[in-house]
Amino acid sequence: MILNFHLAINCSCRVDQHLKSTVEKTIGISKKAYYRVHTAHAQRTTMMKFSATKKILGVGIIAAVCICLSSTRPSSALISPRHVTTKIFRARRRQFHFHPPSMINNRPFRTSGIGNSLPFPVRVTIMGGGNFGLALASVLGRKGVPTTLLVRSADVASQLNTSHRHPRYMSDIDLPQSVVATSDPASALSDATYVVHAVPVQFSRDFLANVRDHLPPNAPVVSASKGIETSSLGFMKDILEECLGTDRSYAFLSGPSFAREICEGVATAVVIASDDTELAEDLADLMSSDTFRAFTSKDVVGIEVGGAVKNVIALAAGMCEGLGLGTNAMSGLVTRGCGEMRRLGIALGARPSTIAGLSGVGDTFGTCFGPLSRNRSFGYRLGKGESVDDILSSMTEVAEGVDTSKALVKFITEKTRGYRLDLKYPIIFGVANILEGNLTPREGLEGLMNMPLRNESYQ
């Protein structure tokens, strides 16, 4: 074959020389026209060689796939042709553990309804039985993915397995039959392909410390938590890497996604960011359906900044509504808040397009204007005159923006450079001062309206 290849090259060179001589002597065209003819001839020759190479590579790939299938999969497994040359190699690269049907607690291996029929058995464990954990369980369960909810209480797990409803959160929502619950980390995590972390940020470090020994060594972790830890001023990526190490892949899910609407099957769009592009694509394939759309991104910083700051802006928007200030004030406040989000994101290395996307402006709109927003409701009650302590004592769910606002002020002060940072981030600093009791909501608004006049896009 090598000899024939060299002969083909020599013949091609001779043909080129003959072509040049013929064109110059008999046709008499200019050198510029000759080069056009010669280029077209070279392109045709290259395309012929490329076509032959594609055929050889095609045979090699088919042979390699056959070897992989014969050595790693039972003969009865159903493989989607579209994913033969991608999903199998991704699965082998990440060293996913194959579990025969007999090893999956008597659950059959399902290939129908899971994205495009992933060629390996997928089991997902969701850590956290709150609203969003239930919502993601519904997304996966509706597609037939075996999903386990890891909850704190054995009684809650028993009720979930019996009635398929949570006794406290969205108790009128029925979970799919493929979703089971347990309070035992070893049982929930031992054979998980993917692990979803849906525990509030401020409780994540202690929770991860308790379950870390049960996590499979190669299972990627998907974080659905948003905010900044008050003690370390770290985002979720920092917390996950400190608690679980840097040897596994991580992804981060964000976007305008109220849990109840997801459970009810209302159309929802989110974004999944990861340094591992293939992981983000696999997760998007796994979760996406006719009513739940997952896009992908590599901008983890932008995703996390948007998810944290939008809750603080929602507190301010709720206060604005509680004070009865109208649509003009609300629109201006939210827009200026998005400007602070963008300013902070760029300072930390995020892409402006990410801040302008689903996880930034999109999630901010949903949280600020949506009636299901906990942070907006918290701010609304503050604007009506209630105290922070009274609101906190009456809430059954966490309003992440309360702790995040204080952590953001410390983070901006310690991690970013600049003079008069309170002028660059007046809404973030103002919300923190109100929550700490230094200002009332109306005084905070007056402070915003009396700031120095300047260019709108002041940096």
Active site residues: 310
Q: 170-179 b/e with 16+ CB inside 10 Å = b?
A: beebebbebb
Long-range contacts formed by 277-282: CB under 8 A, 24+ apart? 278/90, 278/93, 279/94, 279/220, 279/249, 279/251, 280/251, 282/87, 282/90, 282/118
Q: How many CB atoms lie within 10 A of CB 418?
A: 13
Is residue 141 within 8 A of residue 178, CB to CB? The reply is yes
Tokens describing residue 259: 């849990």
Instruction: Tell me which DSSP letter residue 23 carries.
Output: I
d(CA 184, CA 207): 13
Residue located via tokens 């230094």: 438
Q: How many CA atoms lie within 13 A of 267 on its CB side?
A: 1
| Closest-CA residue to 122 (of 143, 106, 145) | 145
| C-alpha pair distances (Å), 54 with each of 57, 58, 67 | 5, 6, 20
Helix 300-322 with 374-383: angle, nearest 10 deg = 30
Q: Which residues pair with 148 in a beta bridge?
A: 125, 180
d(CA 335, CA 43): 53
Is residue 208 within 8 A of residue 239, CB to CB? The reply is yes
d(CA 225, CA 400): 9
* Residue spans of alpha helices (H) in 360-399: 363-369, 374-383, 388-394
Q: Which amino acid is at 211?
A: V
Residue located via tokens 């918290």: 378
> Under DSSP, is residue 452 helix (H, G, I), strand (E, B) or coil?
coil
